[in-house]
Structure 1
Amino acid sequence: MKKIVIIYFITTLSIFAQESQLKKANKYFKIASFEKSAEAYAALISDGNTDPLVLKKAADSYYYISDFEKAVGLYKTLIDKQKESLDDQCIFRYAQCLKALGKTEESNTWMQLYEKEIPEVVYKATIEKLETIKKQGNKFEIKNEVINTPQSDFGPAIYKDKLIFSSASKSRGLFSRKYKWNDQAYLDLYQTTLTNTTLDSTVVPFSKELNSKLHEADVTFTKDGKRIYFTRNNSENGKRKKDDNKVTQLSIYSADLVDGKWTNITSLPFNGLNYSTMHPSLNKENNRLYFSSDMPGTLGSFDLFYVTIDTNDSFGKPINLGEEINTKNREQFPFISNEGKLFFSSDGHPGFGLLDVFMSEVKDDVYTKPLNLGLPINTNLDDFSLIYNDTSKRGFFASNRENGKGDDDIYSFLQIAPLQDFQYYVQGIVIDEENDVPITESTVFLFDEKGDKINEMLVNETGNFYFDLQPGTYKISVYNPNTIPAEKTFTVLDNGTTKTEQIIKVKRIPKTFLEELIAEEGDPKVITDNGVLMFDLPEILFDFDKFNIRADAKVHLDQLVDKLNRYPLINIAIGSHTDNRGTEEYNRQLSQDRATSTMNYLVERGINASRITAEGFGESKPKVDCIDHQCSDEEHQINRRSEFVILVKQE
């Protein structure tokens, strides 16, 4: 009996201990004290707790503090336990951990599962593109700088002859408080002298007015040097402000330089208590401030935004940079160069590691497809906070790559190869189907996947054509007065293979008045001696005494619009008719109204009116003879019609 009681008390104490440990772990996790939550959850798991929520929070804690070796094992255990109900976020982070550990192929397999809405052929194309970028070789020479410490150093910015940056080094603040997230000291702003391209090893605090007991990082300056924008924890009068989960978010502040001191420290109006704004960067004109935020309206966890700044220093509403830049994951650390190049870091665009650095050129508020900067800027870990001088082709960035001096290190770089994305194009030839001889004097039309014409050209003397393209699906159609119109659909993948080749084979028009084409397109209407071909298309019908386009007629007319768009050098003649009820004069006008109505429908859908003739024939050309016998309503309906004649022009 005593043994049973003892076992009972031991079991009870163990349960209480587990509950206490779980409560403590959850508390640490909730307040983003991930160093401590990781340790607490790990203790629970060691004691036999395999609850999926505990496993996930443990894995996430290690993920947040970049201990990928421990995180990957926990994610794997969690995935094995929940094969039928995998969480997308878990899959993504597991894939990221594998990538950080250099297991690229395995990571790609899981990322493909995560990106399940992307077709397999497109996803594989992105992997091929990264391999192509890798084969291009290094585009930069980089150097680990003398200012780095064993702690986190990042966020470089140029101010006059100084490099300003953020650091969490305890040696730079003897009594520095620790940040709960990763148990490092809070970030402060520091400076060192920059002479030409060389940094001084002497580092001192940038400003005692700006550095506080909380985080300060990621600065940008106005061109006159009298205003700074920087990131700081949400606070008021030096006291932190917490969100609904008792977490202090990040905000962007400004300060003005007055008599050598930074004063008038002000929280910007688009900051929020329950979301972060951070990583400010001013454009050359100082009328636009770029930043990163997870505010409401983001496409992912963090998106890039900008606000306009007017002459009175008032701020507009935040504008999301859109789907070309932002993804369902993280976009952070924007930097806008003087020539309008937007550099930023992302784990949402295809990359070599966790955060990769990308570039997009901004022209009239249109952002080009982001370009991965490749090696050695990007690695299998985090690469971020890049700044760039368009003239010198030099800059700085931060990375937590292997063989650095500490957590995050600052690197300088020199660009040694052009930052140019892949220029895709299609090159092809038009040849005779029978003997492969090039067909000259052919016009080649290029259409996008919506069927809109985007380019055209006359093939050269060897039958060749060429179009610059972006990745996507296209259709080529070929017109030549001596051949049957031909077309071909193809897709250009964004895989780094810049050239797409297309061979378009066409049939010559037979001297027997195009019988092959007639057989394909319809019964012959009129064939003339000069080689003009006319053939029927499905006619459309009208209600009695009406000339409006019926719903069933619109289906046929929309098909005709598509044909006319695909063959821009073909014209059309419309002939409209009535039944024989009513006067001859009235029926001629009614048929003309039907012809005009038919033509207007086509013109409203983008067909040039110069390509269309429309004539009403009244009751003079019936399909069913209603004079010699009494016609039924169905027979009268057959006569109320518009017919189409397609003209293949001879030039």
Structure 2
Amino acid sequence: MKQYFLWISTFALLGLVSCKSLVEKGDNQFLSGQYHYAISTFGQILQTDSTNLKANQTIAESYRLSNRIEKAEPYYRQVVEQEPTFNNYFFLGQSLKAQQKNAEAKEAFDKAKGYTSDESLLARTQREIEAIKLAEGISDYWPNHVLVNFKELNTQGADYAPVLSEDFLYFTSGRQASGIYAATGTPYHKLFRTRADGLKVDVSGVQALPEFKNEEGLNQAAIAISPDGNTIIYARGNSTSSKDLPDVALFASYFRGAGFTQPIWMPVNEDEYWWNSTPAFSPDGSELYFASNRPGGFGGIDLYKATKLANGDFGNAVNLGPSINTPGNEMFPRPARDGKFFFASDGHPGYGKLDLFVAEKDNTGGMVIKNLGQNFNSKDDDFGIFFTEYPKAGFISSNREGGVGDDDIYFFEDKTPKPKIVNVLLNVYTKESKGEGTPAVLSQARVTLYGSDNKQQGGDFSNAQGRVRFTMAPEQDYTIMASKSGYFSKSIPYTTKGKTPDPKTLVQEVTNVTLDTTIILDQLILEKAIVLDNIYYDLDKAEIRSDAAVELDKLVKILKDNPAIRIELSSHTDSRSSDAYNLDLSQRRAQSAVDYMVSKGVAAERLVAKGYGETQLIIKDAKTEEEHQTNRRTEFKVIEIKE
């Protein structure tokens, strides 16, 4: 990956008077982008003059420009002792940061601020300091994702940027190289593919890209394939030929009938002297995302988006803006179907060099950037995420310590532990009321289970033992309805909350918890009076008291559970006032009860208010207050059952 940072630098080097032949040779190597050889040449000078300013500065810059800034620390330290400038201290800070030497990096950045009054440079330096602080509080975006080096696929060289398309895994590799890239001293990179099914890759079938031939003497990398499989776009550059393009550019190949066309330079590059690389298609193929160092950006390398034009090309490239782009480098974009946007950056708060990030919208519609965390990122370069099963599985690339070679391909999987399953087995027993005796078993009652959303989740008839069994979920609310011809239907609430063990304490994968509940049904007999308990009124008044309302609410529920019945609600008095007064009072009380029930949603036509006064005394010669209370009662009876 590292050579895709590179562009020819015109950094002006200070003149040296010693070792003139080596200096001239090294200068030519550096100015032509042959950083690997420049490091070797100026290294010879340092063997005899370890404090040589030009040699130290050129080696430091060569490491920085070839994306190996972590190796530049000792050389920048020599440079700042002799030539303390903003750039030298700033780059020393970046070298230290890349090694996670955070305290020393902060010190170097602070010193850099003392050598400039440029507001933009001061702001960039402060951003680096703040990023180090913010990195200390990063949490894992997917804490249960596990990263594994794909050792069987990787080689001693570079292997990176895999993408999956039509049962093939395409990736970039330094294997089978025929030349050395002078900037890094590593083999040139080519495009390869092999058969794959998700993370299952045929490592023995790797072959050079068959769609078109890899070119010799340059780098070809970071392939992108359109969702329909008909367009291949990749980065091509770093040629040794002076007749070739001067920088890395995007090339495209199109499927035309029998095969793919020869790759051609894309108009979206716009200028042959601009660096363009790491392409990726939007999920629908209508947009192309890529990285570029073109003018007008926010830093070294920025991410851009181009739209597919009527002729099939991509154009009108737009910078993705300062939420994503920083004064550092952003590359390897990966838009997801759910609107999230993944990319690599060394400018956002991270662990060292390139880290993987995701941009997602917040509650206000703005963009928030999140580091994927330590299970994805390291102090080295981590980049090129691709999902085979979003967001549970896929690949990334990294040159972190412990790998097989240079850049390696890693795969990741969501290893979230499977939750322990708790099943609630509820035995519902249906019984019928037998007056003052023990309720008896009621078989063949229809029992239905409803969830908290009132949707039916099960139902059956009770067996000979009056039992129906339901499987329910823990920590949920339910309603159970029981019904049978000749009986009042009845619903009861039931909750499993607090009735099951904490899954975290369980060992077995599945645990069954058995619970019991009983529903008692009353016989539904026409014209049979049923006394409502605790329906009391204040003396000589008909208004519903709060304690009476509780009992009337129970009757409201009976009517809602039994929508086919019509009832008469009657009120009775004792015999201690005149017949006419008691009759009027009881009628007003009965009507007051009916009005209350109508206010609770019961249709008025289902209710008849009837006051009987003292005409239906239970105890005709009542003498005690308790006997009078027995006569003062409110009853209801079913007067009609609609079919």
TM category (shorter chain) comes to: 0.5 to 0.7
Q: Determine the structure 2 residue equivalent to 1:268.
A: 266
Q: Partners of 2:280 and 2:137 in 1: how far apart?
A: 31
Structure of higher CA gyration radius: 2
Q: Check conservation: 1:164, 1:191, Cα contact below 8 A.
A: yes
Q: In 2, Cα distance between the equivalents of 1:392 and 1:121?
A: 34
Aligned to 1:257: 255
Contact 2:332-2:384 within 8 A present in 1 as well: yes
1:139 offset after TM fit, Å? 4.6
Provide the secondary structure at the position in 1 that maps to 2:92: helix
The alignment status of 1:206 with 2:212, answered yes or no, reads: no
- Point out where structure 2 has 5 or more consecutive residues left out of the alignment: 1-15, 114-120, 418-643
Of 93, 98, 112, 2:91 maps to 93
* Residue of structure 1 equivalent to 2:34: 33
* Contact kept? 1:249, 1:274, Cα under 8 Å: yes
SS at match of 1:105: helix
Q: Does 1:334 align with 2:333?
A: yes
SS state of the match for residue 44, structure 2? helix
Partners of 1:139 and 1:374 within 8 A in 2: no
Q: 1:241 to 1:308 in 2, by over 3 A?
A: farther
Q: Give the drift of 1:296.
A: 1.5
Kept after mapping to 2: 8 A contact 1:339/1:390? no
In 1: Cα distance, 2:140 partner to 2:211 partner: 47
CA–CA separation in structure 1 for the residues paired with 2:59 and 2:128? 30
Superposition map of 1:529-568 within 5 A: none
- Structure 2 residue identity aligned to 1:166: T
2:191 maps to which of 177, 189, 192: 189
The CA distance in 2 between the partners of 1:365 and 1:268, in whole Å, is 37
Q: CA deviation at 1:151?
A: 0.6
Deviates more, 1:104-113 or 1:249-258: 104-113
Change (3 A) 1:138 1:312: same
Using the alignment, how far apart are the partners of 1:70 and 1:123 within structure 2? 19
Q: Give me the whole-angstrom Cα distance separating, in 1, the residues matched to 2:153 and 2:272.
A: 34
Mapping of residues 226-265 of structure 1, within 5 Å: 226-233=230-237, 241=243, 248-265=246-263
C-alpha displacement of 1:192? 2.0
Change (3 A) 1:119 1:354: closer
Counterpart for residue 434 of structure 1 = none
Is the counterpart of residue 144 in structure 1 residue 144 in structure 2? Answer: no
> Structure 2: how far apart are the matches of 1:42 and 1:264?
42
| Cross-structure match for 1:309 | 308
Deviations 1:448-484 (A, max 9, x none): xxxxxxxxxxxxxxxxxxxxxxxxxxxxxxxxxxxxx
Deviations 1:249-295 (A, max 9, x none): 11111111234532142211132221211111110121111100011
Aligned equivalents of 2:300, 2:131: Cα separation in 1: 22
| In structure 1, C-alpha distance between the alignment counterparts of 2:385 and 2:261, rounded to whole Å | 27
Identity across matched positions, percent:
28
Whether 2:289 is the aligned partner of 1:295: answer no
RMSD: 3.2
Residues 1:79 and 1:290: Cα distance change in structure 2 (over 3 Å): same
Secondary structure at 1:354 match in 2: coil
Give the residue type in structure 1 aligned to 2:86. L
| Structure-2 residue corresponding to 1:179 | 181
Distance in 1 (alpha carbons) for counterparts of 2:37 and 2:343: 31
| TM-score normalised by the chain length of structure 1 | 0.55
Are the equivalent residues in 2 in contact too, given 1:234–1:251 (CA < 8 A)?
Answer: no
Given that 2:282 and 2:335 are in contact with CA atoms closer than 8 Å, whether structure 1 keeps it comes out as yes
CA deviation after TM superposition for structure 1 residue 134, in Å: 4.8
Structure 1 residue 60: Cα displacement: 1.7
Q: Hey, what's the Cα distance between the residues in 2 that align with 1:119 and 1:155?
A: 29
Q: Are the aligned partners of 2:192 and 2:209 in contact in 1 as well (CA < 8 Å)?
A: yes
Contact persistence 1:79–1:86 (CA under 8 A): no
Normalized against structure 2, the TM-score is what? 0.56
SS of the residue 1:317 aligns to = strand
The residue that corresponds to 1:72 in the other structure is 73
**TM-aligned CA distance change 1:201 to 1:348, over 3 Å:** same
Q: CA deviation at 1:82?
A: 2.2
Return the letter of the residue paired with 1:195. D
Instruction: Provide the residue aligned with 2:136 in structure 1.
Output: 131
Distance 1:135 1:268, change over 3 A: closer
> What secondary structure does 1:369 align onto?
strand
Whether the 8 Å CA contact 1:62–1:70 is kept in 2: the answer is yes
Structure 1, residues 7-29: CA drift from partner, whole Å, max 9, x if none? Answer: xxxxxxxx997111111101111
Q: Which residue of 2 aligns with 1:357?
A: 356
- Cα distance change on mapping 1:139 and 1:111 into 2, 3 Å: farther
Give the Cα–Cα distance (whole angstroms) in 1 for the partners of residues 292 and 125 of structure 2. 31
Q: Which residue of 2 aligns with 1:343?
A: 342
On the 8 A contact 1:352/1:379 being kept in 2, the answer is yes
Distance 1:295 1:137, change over 3 A: closer
